[in-house]
Amino acid sequence: MNLRAHATELVTAVLKDGRSLNEMLTPAAQAFSDSRDRALLKELVYGSLRHFRRLAAVRDRLLSQALQNPQGKLANLLVVGLYQLMYTRIPAHAAVADTVNAVSDINEDRARGLVNAVLRSYQRKGETLLAQIDSDWGVQHSHPEWLVSAFKRAYGRDTEQLLAANNAPAPMTLRVNSRRGKLTDYQALLTALDIVSTAHPEARDALVLQTPMDVNQLPGFADGAVSVQDAAAQLAADYLDVQPGMRVLDACCAPGGKTAHLLERTPTAELLAIDNDINRLERVRETLARLQLQAELKMADAGEPASWWNQQPFDRILLDAPCSGTGVIRRHPDIKWLRRERDIPVLAAQQLKLLQALWPTLARGGKLLYATCSSLPAENAEVIAAFLAGQTDAELLPLPGHAGDRADRVIRTGEAQMDGFYYALLGKR
């Protein structure tokens, strides 16, 4: 199948069928033996979804009449074609020709003339069209209107900066295994291989690569010397402050990056890691095996402690709660189109329920770190406020090493090259 047609199939599966790119992209890429083709497929799919609303607005203005199926493959093939002209260095003649050639593979052979005409028309009128549509932030930065409104309520005039950050490709950040060696030693190893990296200013185990690369090309990756994890996620280990011998719960542990980091820092901790998805739990098991770390893994629902808790209180609990993922849109642009406004109160209710269910399992004097990769206060500060209002033995504690003006912390997407994140540390009196 033509690569543009393949990209169109994936974009349509997200937008029309509500499927996640995580489950589709890797198997789809296996259809191409050349790594350059696999990289181009990913670029076209990610880029088309990242800028979909703006691309669709341009497409619709270039059509003389509306398409019969505005969510169909032909409509999305035009988006893929426009993405190449507007955002890539692919020569225009190649972008147009290869996109026109894709119509047969999506069973729209009679639309060859239409696709050619729309793309050629963009080359003549594009600049004028963009000036007309870019006055609307939601169109210019390709976010759904409900999400733009939610960001405006939370971030005011900084909203446009956040929208732009959500569309910027994320860096590849490594977590150096402190059990295996010093960060400076691993960085020297990278330098010797002409791999440029920078130590992160906050996350002390983090190196940010100048250019993303295949993990299998990283020295020592297979042996557990290093992992890939965003710097914001790495801060969990600092904030939870696990000490040797402590009894620790990682309540929603998959895919296991934070679980592993806690053990790399404190291998003598007694760590129970639970998740309610057996397939995701298997990924945790594989991660710990690669890193040669030990934890008790259990498939369980964190919201139902009666089914898995042995009544021995935990000294530390990490609750990385299920959330909208609006802080990691730059890594997963399909989130913008898969989430709905109605999802947010449902998630907030689930997050509060998890906090309330886990609180009795925390020892007096213990600490619970609440985390999400959401940028929405409804899933963060408002959940914590609702929890504290009903829990007389809970208090909000300062985050270790963080000198902000609040006890909790909102990390905005792109801040110090990090994903959007939220942390609140709760102490039990």
Catalytic residue list: 373
Whether 268 contacts 244, CB under 8 Å? yes
Q: How many CB atoms lie within 10 A of CB 259?
A: 27
Give φ, ψ of 220 to 5 degrees: 80, 5
Tokens 């540390």 label which residue?
425
Whether 55 contacts 87, CB under 8 Å? no
Q: How many CB atoms lie within 10 A of CB 345?
A: 11
Whether 133 contacts 58, CB under 8 Å? yes
Determine the angle formed by the axes of helices 73-87 and 92-101, rounding to 10 degrees: 170
Strand, helix or coil for residue 137: helix
DSSP code of residue 63: -
Residues ≥6 apart with Cβ < 8 Å to 182: 176
* CA–CA distance, 301 with 283 (Å, rounded to integer): 17
- In the chain, the amino acid numbered 119 is L
* CA–CA distance, 293 with 277 (Å, rounded to integer): 21
Helices (H), 30-111: 35-50, 52-62, 73-87, 92-101
Helices (H), 304-362: 335-338, 343-358
**Nearest CA among 283, 50, 83, 57 for reference residue 163:** 50
